[in-house]
Amino acid sequence: MPVEVILPKVDMDMSHGTLSAWHVAEGELVRQGAALFDIETDKAAMEVESPATGYLHHVTAKEGDRIAVGAVIGWLYAEGEEVGPAPAAAAPAPAEEPAAKPAETVSAPAEIAAPVAQTDKIRATPAARKAAREGGIALASLTGSGPRGRIQGSDVAQALAVYRQPAASVAEWSPQPGPLAVSTRGGEGVPLVMIHGFTADSQSWMPLEKAMGRARPLIRIDLPGHGKSPRRRIASFADLARMLVEAFDDATRAHDQVHLLGHSLGGALALAIADIRARKLTSLSLIAPAGLGPEVDAEALTGIIRASRAESLAPWLRRLTASPDTITDDYARAAMATRRDPELRAAQADMAQSLFADSTQCFDLRPALARLETPAAILWGREDRILPARHALAAGSECAIHRVEGAGHIPQYECPEPVARILARHLAGAEATAG
């Protein structure tokens, strides 16, 4: 049977969304979990994953269309399955169970933003729905113990108890095999490679991506133990950098030149890559990069890592921004839903012990910055409380420094439009210089 592709509900107040882009053309094969389309609301912009592996047919929506939540916008057919007339679809209605609500252009991860398409309503008590919404857990991930499989409040409480376990000790989490996760977006011109910061993932770039437009190809790399990348033991920054160089080389093998962008820890890694792959780079852009001084707000990092519920995560997330109001309770619930796995939190705690021991950045990229010949720009929020903005002064006269007004440690989220304009000028200038 073909599988419905529906417009998911990603905001508690959402009744419609705009389909901003298809990643797969009608008739093409898409793998389960791969990017299928992008949607936008007044409060969110996100990438939706394919609910199944199959060939996309009977597409009913085009880019730019405003669509009701729950509407069927296409069907996925398995290999060899006969494609006849479009199957009958239920009338669109607001999804019964919203995913954790992203707020203020937060990009919720695909496991939250794109529940698997289904035609049966989830059976759950009102108490269970309220507890799941507040706890940032999708009802579709639970098995009900009530009559006819109805999800009870106790089922949600049991699941939350597991997710809220303190991070396991370093010895209690298991490394995973496989390469680092890389996601891409098509376009024309020199690709931009993006490396996110500590405790974030590639989805965190989406507000900036929206502000930048869709012209340029993108290559996003998830750090180990983040996003969709496997958990790995990290002995030192050099150890981590070797993993990123390997992922960078694999991801850019088909391109003669790329631009490179990194944020925070990802900025330090981008600088390490630029130090040994300079010939590959047209430009380097760093947003609040780590590695340019010893100071770091280790208390905030520890708070984020150890948080086992949205209520304890929110205060530390608010320290990332210039305005605490930027991080709403709903944002914190959405963020916590991506951090429910105690082993993930333990793996990140282990990484933090290696990289930020004794509340200190245990790596120094200032020599690499001094050697840099690639056209470079550093952007830093004036009110950054995680990494001091004065660290940017380590750059030489050839490096452009931009102090972003009204921003803390995550200007690409707090004010993506001015950041996008700065990056656009920098990338265009570097390309013009390269000829």
- Which residue type sits at 173? W
* Tokens read off for 146: 């009530």
Q: How far, rounded to the nearest angstrom, does the alpha carbon of residue 420 sit from its chain's CA centroid?
A: 17
The pTM is what?
0.68
Please, which residues bridge with residue 74 across strands?
5
Q: How far, rounded to the nearest angstrom, does the alpha carbon of residue 399 sit from its chain's CA centroid?
A: 28
CA quadruple 65, 68, 69, 75: dihedral, nearest 10: -60
Residue 122 confidence (pLDDT): 66
2-50 pLDDT, tens digit per residue, is 888 988 876 555 678 888 889 999 999 998 878 898 887 765 667 788 8
Strand order in the sheet with 54-57: 3-6, 72-77, 54-57, 29-30
Distances (CA, A) of 2 to 31, 275, 385: 14, 49, 50
Residue 141 confidence (pLDDT): 61
Cβ within 8 Å of residue 397, ≥6 positions away? none
* Tokens read off for 331: 């944002």
Cβ within 8 Å of residue 3, ≥6 positions away? 51, 52, 54, 75, 76, 117
Q: Give the start-to-end residue ranges of the domains of the chain.
A: 1-82+96-117, 120-163, 182-434
- Which residue type sits at 404? V
Residue 101 confidence (pLDDT): 36
**Ranges of residues in the chain whose predicted pLDDT is under 70:** 10-14, 42-45, 88-122, 133-141, 147-148, 160-171
* Tokens read off for 95: 């999804």
Task: Domain 182-434: give its CATH superfamily.
Answer: Alpha/Beta hydrolase fold, catalytic domain (3.40.50.1820)
Residue 12 confidence (pLDDT): 52
Pick the CATH number of 120-163 from 1.10.230.10, 3.40.50.300, 1.10.1040.10, 4.10.320.10: 4.10.320.10
**Are the C-beta atoms of 328 and 103 separated by less than 8 Å?**
yes
141 — alpha (psi -120 to 50), left (phi > 0) or beta?
Answer: alpha
Residue 43 confidence (pLDDT): 56
CA distance 112 to 341: 14
CA distance 4 to 7: 10
CATH T-level topology, domain 1-82+96-117 = OB fold (Dihydrolipoamide Acetyltransferase, E2P) (2.40.50)
CA distance 167 to 344: 8
